[in-house]
Amino acid sequence: MDTDEEASDSWWEPVKYYARLAIERFESALEGVKELLSTLTIDQRWGVMLKFEDFQPEKFAQLVTDAPQWTEWMA
């Protein structure tokens, strides 16, 4: 596992940004979240969803309820 904190931070910064975009798009439509995730690598997709849950747990719970197939978007 990479223990270089700077490299780790440089990876997480874009993921956090995309998580915020996912949250914004979720507010308008689930399809927007799916579209955003489709533009990212699989690692970024999972990171985005982890951060989405951290930043807005109630909205993430709503996404899971409204789109139980969201895990299919991750492949």
Model pTM? 0.66
71 versus 32: which is more confidently predicted?
71
Query: Which one, of 52, 43, 55, 57, lies nearest residue 8 by Cα?
Result: 43
C-alpha span between 16 and 59 (Å, rounded): 16
pLDDT over threshold 80, residue 6: no
- Give the confidence band of 11 by pLDDT, cuts at 50, 70, 90: confident
User: What gap in Å lies between CA 27 and CA 50, rounded to an integer?
Assistant: 17
Domain residue spans of the chain: 5-74
Which residue is listed with tokens 């982890």? Answer: 50
* pLDDT-wise least confident of 2-16, 21-35, 56-70: 2-16
pLDDT in tens, 28-61: 688 888 888 999 999 999 999 999 999 999 999 9
pLDDT value at 1 more than 50: no
